Amino acid sequence: MSNYIFVYGTLKRGGRSNSLLSDCEFIGVGRAWGCVLLNLGEIPGLIPANIKNSDRCNSVLGEVYAVPDKNWHALLRQLDRLERAWRMYLRVKIEVDARGSTKECTTYLYMPTIDSENVVSEGVWKVPVV
C-alpha cells in the first residue's frame, strides 16, 4: 500500500528539495481544487481559495508521489522539519485529481502570521451578551 503526497514548490522535480522524494514513485501531475497558490518570494504557499474575483484561479497544479508504507513516517519527519523551518506550514490531507482519479494526498498549507491582538484570550470564545 502507498501513501500519497502532493507537492507544489521546492519539492517538485527540479526543485532544490526534490531529493527528499528520491525513494518515492512519481505518479504524475495533479490538481488540487479549491486552493490558490501564493508567491512568497523564494517559496510558494498553498491556501484554501477565498477569492471572489472570477479571474483568479481556484486550483493549484503540482505533483503527486506515492510513498511506500515503510518510508512514510521517516519521510513525514523530514518534510515536517523542512516545512517547520519556515514556521509557516501545516500538514493536512486534501483530495487531488491525478491520472484520471482522485487521490487523498498529504500536503502542506501555508499558515500566515497572525496579529496577536486578534488572538482570543485563554483560547475560549465568550458569546457576546445581547
Question: Which pLDDT tens digits describe the chain residue by residue (130 residues)?
Answer: 579 999 999 999 999 999 999 999 999 999 999 899 999 899 999 998 876 554 557 899 999 999 999 999 999 999 999 987 667 899 999 999 998 999 999 999 998 777 677 777 778 877 878 7
Residue 54, pLDDT score: 47
The answer to whether 126 touches 104, Cβ cutoff 8 Å, is no
**d(Cα 73, Cα 1) in Å, to the nearest integer?**
14
Question: Does residue 111 fall inside a structural domain?
Answer: yes
Residue 55, pLDDT score: 53
Question: Does residue 130 fall inside a structural domain?
Answer: no
Question: Does residue 14 fall inside a structural domain?
Answer: yes
Question: Does residue 129 fall inside a structural domain?
Answer: no
Residue 83, pLDDT score: 86
Question: Does residue 86 fall inside a structural domain?
Answer: yes
Question: Does residue 105 fall inside a structural domain?
Answer: yes
The answer to whether 13 touches 75, Cβ cutoff 8 Å, is no
Q: Which three cell numbers, joined as nine digits, stand for 75?
A: 519521510
Residue 65, pLDDT score: 98
Task: Provide the β-strand partners of residue 61.
Answer: 31
**d(Cα 104, Cα 124) in Å, to the nearest integer?**
33
Q: Per the structure, how many domains does the chain have? A: 1
Residue 74, pLDDT score: 96
Residue 73, pLDDT score: 96
Question: Does residue 72 fall inside a structural domain?
Answer: yes
Question: Does residue 25 fall inside a structural domain?
Answer: yes
Neighbours of 125 (CB within 10 A): 8
**d(Cα 45, Cα 67) in Å, to the nearest integer?**
22
Residue 39, pLDDT score: 92
Q: Which three cell numbers, joined as nine digits, stand for 59?
A: 486550483
CATH of residue 50: 3.10.490.10
Domain extent at residue 93? 2-123
Residue 52, pLDDT score: 58
Q: Which parts of 7-121 fold into alpha helices (H)? A: 69-84
